[in-house]
Amino acid sequence: MASSTFNPHPPPPKPSSTHFPKTPHLLAPTLQTPPKTLTQQDPKLIITGGATLSGHVPISGSKNSALPILAATLCCSGQTKLKNVPNLSDTRSMLSILGSLGAEVEVFGDDVVVSTDGVRSVEPCEGEIGKIRGGFLVIGPLLGRFGEAVVGLPGGCDIGARPVDLHIRGLRALGASVECRDGKVIAHASNGKGLVGGRFRLDYPSVGATETLMMAACAGTDKLLIKGRRKLHDSEYSIIPDRIEAGTFMLAAAITRSCITMSPIVPSHLSCLINKLLHQFSAVPAKSRDGLHGFDVRTSPFPGFPTDLQPQTMALLTTCQGLSVVEESVFENRMNHVTEMQKFGPRIQVCGSTALVFGKDSGRLYGSRVAASDLRGGVSLVLAGLAAQGTTEVNGIAHVDRGYENFEMKLRLLGADVKRLTIPP
């Protein structure tokens, strides 16, 4: 793991040393207190823009890694110990899903121990599955280990069509009989014994479908050859740092023209963003706060530019000089945040999946009242608020809580003027 310093204006000042306390996790097995949702409370962030950030921020474990790995514990008998699991509403929902199947879950800080010997059900809690996209991933290990599964269709952010047809076709290639009925995917091994080896080509490099098929085959290049085993053993694994959180804080430093440090990170996981920022900002004089020029972005699957960083990058581009072109090639509704972003005052034109960002030539950002409608779009509004003049109110922060652990606390440690308000239902 590496520690990274991001500063659009070198040389950086020496960062202050800060200690970030972890918030204790909730114990999942009781299933008595479900994670709070937008229907139970309506948290908001109040941001006074213009503060310069400094100091060190700890990067949490990756949500997008933790969710499939938590699902993969169902492949194994015995206990699996996972380290560096982020405390998020999405991970708590996944722990509840495992508990609804009969797994025993213990949480110690950011360590999670899952024992699956007590799993007696192949149908997880439909309410929890409906909260997160990643909940659907349990269909693979349930089919692979028990030969059957009944899983409700997934929830998650409304950022475009994310059908499960690739998952279903792949499972059929492994010998499963699959049908969709009453909002559920019902699957069982056609031979009545278990899944069999097969060949399947993904029409699109779907991360979720790949994870589902790997777990169904009980195993992982663009080609996967998996030799299944009758039984997988218990294990211990540490969740990788969240590259999207790290990238978000890099962009927070850039949009506020600040210097911060962060760790742990894996630089190769963020090379696309790092190269963009270094190329554009390395020639900017240290004393020039207004000389940053925009750049073009086109999202694509890894190792391309992450779609999960597109909205945050657009927020940065509204503060840069010149015209920038942002193309979204992964999710067709990933531009939903633009309407709210425009309330800060920038000129942004959207045509289909392409946005033209006219940058600070169209004026500076001013504080506004906005609402998050999804996870990454919501955090882009927070970044815009950090750079805006005046006060910004970002509603719907429960969306952001799905993917960022103690987000506003980390921002405050860096010097941002941010506070959370919760309005009772």
Tell me the torsion sign for CA atoms 92, 416, 243, 201: positive
Calculate ∠ Cα 177-179-183, nearest 5°.
Answer: 145
Distances (CA, A) of 85 to 22, 25, 211, 249: 11, 10, 18, 19
* DSSP code for 305: B
| Whether 316 contacts 383, CB under 8 Å | yes
| Whether 137 contacts 67, CB under 8 Å | yes
Nearest-CA neighbor of 355 among 369, 334, 380? 334
Q: What gap in Å lies between CA 297 and CA 327, rounded to an integer? A: 6
| Whether 146 contacts 116, CB under 8 Å | no
Q: What gap in Å lies between CA 184 and CA 195, rounded to an integer? A: 20
Distances (CA, A) of 294 to 148, 337, 363: 51, 19, 14
Active site residues: 157
3-state secondary structure at position 105 = strand
